[in-house]
Structure 1
Amino acid sequence: MKITLYALFLSVVLFGCGGNSEKTYKARAFAVSDDFNVFPKSTKDVLTIVKTDSGKLAATDRFAINVKDTTITIEDAPNAATKKFKVASFINTQKTAVLVQSANEKDKMDPFYIIYVSGGKIEVVSLNIPSKGADDKKYTNGLEELTRSNLLVNNDFFITTINSRVYPIKRQNPDERIQGKFFMYSSDKTTLAFLTANSLFQVNTKTGETFNLPLPASLTSQPETLVGNIQRDYTWVANAHGTSFLKKNADDDRIVDIKEFQH
């Protein structure tokens, strides 16, 4: 009888140890010095994206992030703790850093984080900056893939997956995310131009320099011809520091290479 009870107890313990565990990590604020291009010391330091739910539409997919056999939960008060994400994408080839968006059913307004492994330890960085913008819901677009290797997060962060760099985007008004839609960037892809109600607000992701280019109502009131008119009448011009900003042509007859505007 004792042997039978012991065997039953042992099987319960072994079964309990066989399932995935969970661990909660507290998110911290993003720092400019953060380095996400981390190479793992061993295969144990690699993150795994696991699909947990799936629906007929891709938008209904949900994901979990595991390290070894442990599922990561993010604590970030006052946001609800979360271990399910509707966006999960590696931002480096080593698979030690992943961009996620929580799935707390607030649509595009759900917060973003970067989960990464550094020195064998898990860290969670928040990519969420408070905003009081009147049109935040209109211009909070979540994750925008500008190219396969260039990502834009809520007009506040620019991510280049080639080198795993994350650049904070300087706001036009510190209290609100840029109240405009991404329009184009310079040929070196470092200056981003956002179309606001009456201007092109431009910010260089590497230097933090900004330039606001007012646009006449005759341009902004005709969105169907706006891109063509900008290509014809405006040019990327480097300033004294070598930073390019879009400016009105001094000579309207100048021929502009369309490659300057492609992305």
Structure 2
Amino acid sequence: MKITLYAFIISIVLFGCGSSSEKTYKARPIAANEDFNVFPKSKKEILTIVKTDSGALAYADRFAINYKDTTITIDDVPKPAAKKFLSASFINTQKTAVLVQVSDGSGKKAPFYIIYLNDGKTEVVSLNKASKGAEDKKYTNGLEELTRTSILINNDYFINTVNSKVYPVKRQKEDERIQGKFFMYSSDKTTLVFLTANSLYQTNVANGETFTLPLPASLTSQPETLVSNIQRDYTWVPSANGTPFLKKNADDDRIVDIKEFKH
């Protein structure tokens, strides 16, 4: 009887040791000049993306984030605690920082977070800013991959996965996200250009400098030729601080190299 009891106890202990656990981390706002390009001290100090649900199509898959044998749950009151994500992708090659979007039923408008390891300690950073824009529904586009290494989150954050930098995108009005569609960026990928109702709003993610360029109705009323007309009649010109901004050509006969324009 004692042998049977001991065997039962040992089996429970072994089962408990092999099972995974969960831990909840409170999300905090992103800090200025925050560095997510963290190198682990050992091969074990990395995050793991685990597929928890497989859908008929890729967008129906769901994921969890583990650190060793612990599943990470995000607490961001008043939002519900979250441990299942619509998407998850590393933003550095060391696998110590992951960009996730919560699976809460709101689709592409669901909240975004960065889960990362900082000197072996797990932290969660929120990439969500409140907005009261009249056209928020139209311009809350979730994650937009501008290139293989450039990501835009809801017109509010620009992520460069080459250096794992996350840049807040300066708004035109602090209480509303940019009411426009991403249009193009400068060749150095620091100045982002957004097409708003009647202008090109330009903001430099490296220094926060902005410039709004009004557009004539003759351009905005013909969206099918807008890009080609901008390429023909506008040029990247450095400001007094050296920040590149798109401006109208002084000489309309100037020949512009199309390589100046990136999208």
**TM-score normalised according to structure 1 size:** 0.98
1:235 equivalent in structure 2: 235
Question: TM-score, with normalisation over the residues of structure 2?
Answer: 0.98
TM-fit CA distance, 1:59: 1.1
Alpha-carbon distance, 1:218 to partner: 1.2
Q: Could you tell me how far 1:2 is from its partner in structure 2?
A: 1.7
Q: Distance in 1 between matches of 2:113 and 2:153?
A: 10
The answer to whether the aligner puts 1:26 opposite 2:26 as a matched pair is yes
**How far did 1:17 drift?**
2.3
- Measure the CA separation in 2 of the matches of 1:117 and 1:243: 33
CA distance in structure 1 between the partners assigned to 2:81 and 2:135 by the alignment:
27
Please state if 1:150 is matched with 2:150: yes
For each residue in 1:26-45, what CA deviation from the matched residue of structure 2 results, as whole angstroms up to 9, or x when unmatched?
00000113110100001221
Instruction: Deviation per CA, 1:176-204: give whole Å up to 9, x if none.
Output: 00011100001111000001111110000
Name the counterpart of 2:13: 13
Determine the C-alpha separation between the residues in 2 that align with 1:44 and 1:129.
33
- Which amino acid is the alignment partner of residue 202 of structure 1? Q
Residue 204 in 1 paired to residue 204 in 2? yes
Deviation of residue 152 (structure 1)?
0.6
CA deviation profile, 1:130-165 (whole Å, cap 9, x unmatched): 111111111011111111111111100111111111
1:173 aligns with 2:173: yes
Cα separation, 2, equivalents of 1:221 and 1:56: 41
Give the distance between the partners of 1:249 and 1:219, measured in 2 at CA. Answer: 15
The Cα offsets for residues 203-224 of structure 1, whole Å up to 9 and x where unpaired, read as 0000100001111111111111
Kindly provide the amino acid, as one letter, of the partner of residue 163 in structure 2.
N
What amino acid does structure 1 have at the position aligned with 2:145? E
Q: Is the counterpart of residue 2 in structure 1 residue 6 in structure 2?
A: no
Aligned to 1:66, the other structure's residue is in SS state: strand
Aligned residues: 263
SS of the residue aligned with 1:114? Answer: strand
Structure-2 residue corresponding to 1:98: 98
Equivalent residues in 2 for 1:211-222, closer than 5 Å: 211-222=211-222
Structure 1 vs Structure 2: percent identity of aligned residues? 76
Counterpart residue identity of residue 233, structure 2: D
The aligned counterpart of 1:248 is: 248
Q: How far did 1:9 drift?
A: 2.1
**How many angstroms apart in 2 are the aligned matches of 1:165 and 1:255?**
35
Which 10-residue stretch deviates more, 16-25 or 148-157? 16-25
Cα deviation, residue 87, structure 1: 1.4
- Are residue 42 (structure 1) and residue 53 (structure 2) matched? no
In 2, distance between residues paired with 1:105 and 1:220?
35
* 1:62 aligned residue: 62
Measure, in 2, the Cα distance between the counterparts of 1:13 and 1:137.
52
**Distance across 1 between alignment mates of 2:119 and 2:231:** 47
Q: Which residue of 2 aligns with 1:130?
A: 130
**Aligned amino acid, residue 215 of structure 1:** L
Give the partner amino acid of 1:255.
I
How far apart, in 2, do the equivalents of 1:251 and 1:262 lie?
Answer: 22
**What per-residue deviation string (whole Å, max 9, x for no partner) do you get for residues 53-104 of structure 1?**
1112111111111111111000001111100111101010100001101010
